[in-house]
Amino acid sequence: MSLLEIEKLSLDIAGMPILKGMDLAIDAGEVMGLVGESGSGKSMTALTVMQLLPNASRTRGRVTFDGIDILSAPEAAMCRLRGDDIGMVFQEPMTALNPVKTIGEQVAEGIRWHTGANRPDAEARARAILDRVGLPEARFPLSRYPHELSGGQRQRVIIAIACALKPKLLIADEPTTALDVVLQKQILELLRDLVDENRMGLLLISHDLAVVADMADRVTIMRHGEVMEAGETAKILTQQKHPYTRQLAEASVHVPVRNAPSRSGSAGVAGRGGAHEDPSFPPPPGPAGHPPHKGEGKSAPLLVVEGVTRDYAGRRKSLFSKAEPFRAVDNVSFSLDAGQSMALVGRSGCGKSTLARMILALDRPTSGEIRLLGQTVADKSEAELRPSRREMQVVFQDPYGSFDPRHKVERLIAEPLHLLEKKPARTERREMVAEALHEVGLAPSDMDKYPHEFSGGQRQRISIARAIITRPKLIVADEPVSALDVSIRAQVLDLFADLNQRLGVAYLFITHDLTVARAITDQVMVMHEGKIVEEGRTSEVLDNPQTEAARALVAAAPDLERAIARRLGETA
């Protein structure tokens, strides 16, 4: 008999069907991947097993864990199971810990509660498990508070809490989604080791097929609360029998079709010869994909960043000592040609977003210069900046936070029109908004709706519509697709590629996801601790990274094809 068996589980919440006849089984020592897009019922499955569902839920079917019928178990029995035999790791390391308790207390709490151990014993065990998850006491004493740790370290604490009592089953709900690829790899390796050590069952919930392919022995693919396909990972992902599995797999390795101006690899070389073959490319930009050398011939680069540094005031150690400034961006220089698509990749906290803000003139460099179309951007008043602002717009990561919830789409998209010298009249404005909506694949009638009426992918389209309405020459996109499901992500990437083609807009694409960088950009810059450590053509840098930082990123990036190939190699 399996460790966890879910049979024909159905779940309604306030009359809404969430799960429909779901089946799943996990054996001890097995990693089960549960894959699906947002809203497919992955997390609700986990919460059902934990019996942590919201109040208005009704369940039918059978869930047995280690011989216990979970659905009919009284709350007291569940309290004994949770945190003892079943552990859970949540997605958001920033909010899953209690900010006013030390990490030692939080780990020891569960140990004391379940085993009745006294404080010193519980603390000794907490010390041991924290050491096991990579937080040795010498550097991370039990008296640390969550805010003193980074995201990856907090996720380790959460894993320590979940695994402190050697649970038989660990449920990890998107445990690495909020982390960058390097941390993701470390956390996944830790989970894998813990599974092997304790013969623990692991239910790994993820929307990322590559992560699951790498980790899971078997996968269950869910959609709209139903199991689409289940079985051995390698078999499912190589055969891709079910159309939905194929769709997911294709979306996660999706590369938008792009031609001439943006496929700079070859175009860059051709461009140098002066022959530009794409007629659809509007007003003669510099040769696309031109390597970032000093302006050659007639066209100056669109954006030039020269020796930009940004210091933030650090924390003062004492009242009298001067604060040590923290250098977020350190002497960065590069240039970007019109129509070019450049990726800026790096781990979280490396200064990518700070650099982007300075380019957008939302923050001022401590030193150095940023020029857009020959006009300097820093140290200008808002009024003087207007011509430059017209030429550059921004798309943010969070499709939920990017809009004023109290404005209609028309007003949201029309916001940058404020930059025009002559404000368009109302009807003209509506026309421009309709046009922008059309460009991004939405209906003009959508302009009278509020942002909450749209899905995440649609909101990101609205965000792009807002960015292109002034016909800028540069769009800075800060992780524009990392909050989206794979299939939506593929569509939005297509849209970016298409707009690059049709409108000739250049991109600075900030991402930690190398698949995205590879799919959509010509050039890539790798940033590490505020410095640009490597740059060049995307394919060259990513296939053959030269620096330590770039190598770490490439090695850690989950890759679906590689993971499947490795799995096949193992079984063969």
Does residue 406 touch another protein according to CB under 8 A?
yes
* Identified binder of another protein from the candidate list 393, 460, 500, 515, rule CB under 8 A: 393
Using the contact rule CB under 8 A, the part of the chain among 175-183, 303-311, 379-387, 549-557 near another protein is: 379-387
Phi, psi at residue 262, to the nearest 5°?
-95, -25
* Identified binder of another protein from the candidate list 402, 501, 515, 538, rule CB under 8 A: 402
* Identified binder of another protein from the candidate list 193, 324, 404, 561, rule CB under 8 A: 404
Q: How far is the CB of 46 from another protein (least distance, A)?
A: 20
* Identified binder of another protein from the candidate list 157, 394, 442, 492, rule CB under 8 A: 394
Using the contact rule CB under 8 A, the part of the chain among 168-176, 243-251, 403-411, 542-550 near another protein is: 403-411
Residue 381: how many other CB atoms lie within 10 Å: 7
Using the contact rule CB under 8 A, the part of the chain among 33-41, 97-105, 380-388, 540-548 near another protein is: 380-388
Q: How far is the CB of 389 from another protein (least distance, A)?
A: 4
Of residues 453 through 482, those in contact with another protein by CB under 8 A are 463, 466
Tokens of 293: 């050398």
Check if the beta carbon of residue 305 is closer than 8 Å to that of residue 334.
yes
Does residue 263 touch another protein according to CB under 8 A?
no
User: Which residue is associated with the tokens 């194929």?
Assistant: 246
Q: What's the CA gap between 88 and 266, in Å, rounded?
A: 49
Q: How far is the CB of 15 from another protein (least distance, A)?
A: 15
Does residue 396 touch another protein according to CB under 8 A?
yes
Q: What's the CA gap between 40 and 314, in Å, rounded?
A: 44
Q: How far is the CB of 560 from another protein (least distance, A)?
A: 30
Of residues 413 through 442, those in contact with another protein by CB under 8 A are 415-416, 418-419
* Identified binder of another protein from the candidate list 101, 327, 386, 531, rule CB under 8 A: 386
Q: How far is the CB of 100 from another protein (least distance, A)?
A: 18
β-pairing, 169-173 with 201-206?
A: parallel
Q: What's the CA gap between 111 and 119, in Å, rounded?
A: 9
Using the contact rule CB under 8 A, the part of the chain among 219-227, 399-407, 522-530, 540-548 near another protein is: 399-407
Does residue 380 touch another protein according to CB under 8 A?
no
Does residue 362 touch another protein according to CB under 8 A?
yes
Q: Based on CB atoms, which residue is closest to another protein, 184 or 388? A: 388
- Give me the DSSP letters along 476-491: EEESTTTTS-HHHHHH
Q: How far is the CB of 18 from another protein (least distance, A)?
A: 16
Structural element, H or E, at residue 246: helix 243-252
Q: Based on CB atoms, which residue is closest to another protein, 103 or 506? A: 506
Strand positions, DSSP E, 385-502: 392-395, 474-478
Residue 210: how many other CB atoms lie within 10 Å: 22
Q: What is the dihedral of CA 381, 384, 388, 389, to 10 degrees?
A: 60
Q: What's the CA gap between 546 and 562, in Å, rounded?
A: 21
Using the contact rule CB under 8 A, the part of the chain among 129-137, 183-191, 209-217, 397-405 near another protein is: 397-405
- Give me the DSSP letters along 42-85: HHHHHHHHHT---TTEEEEEEEEETTEETTT--HHHHHHHBTTT
Using the contact rule CB under 8 A, the part of the chain among 152-160, 239-247, 256-264, 401-409 near another protein is: 401-409
Q: Based on CB atoms, which residue is closest to another protein, 402 or 500? A: 402
Using the contact rule CB under 8 A, the part of the chain among 261-269, 365-373, 390-398, 435-443 near another protein is: 390-398
* Identified binder of another protein from the candidate list 304, 392, 493, 564, rule CB under 8 A: 392
H helices present in 72-169, as ranges: 75-81, 103-115, 119-132, 151-163
Of residues 319 through 358, those in contact with another protein by CB under 8 A are 357
Q: Is 405 helix (H, G, I), strand (E, B) or coil?
A: coil
Q: What's the CA gap between 364 and 355, in Å, rounded?
A: 10
Does residue 377 touch another protein according to CB under 8 A?
no
Phi, psi at residue 522, to the nearest 5°?
-95, -45
Q: How far is the CB of 433 from another protein (least distance, A)?
A: 14
Q: Cβ neighbours of residue 73 under 8 Å, at least 6 residues apart?
A: 51, 81
With CA atoms as reference, report the closest residue to 524 among 486, 499, 553, 482.
553
Q: Based on CB atoms, which residue is closest to another protein, 57 or 186? A: 57
Q: How far is the CB of 463 from another protein (least distance, A)?
A: 8
Does residue 389 touch another protein according to CB under 8 A?
yes
Q: Cβ neighbours of residue 403 under 8 Å, at least 6 residues apart?
A: 412, 451, 459, 462, 463
* Identified binder of another protein from the candidate list 90, 140, 244, 403, rule CB under 8 A: 403
Q: Note the residues at the interface with another protein (CB under 8 A).
A: 357, 360, 362, 382, 385-386, 389-390, 392-394, 396-398, 401-408, 415-416, 418-419, 450, 452, 463, 466
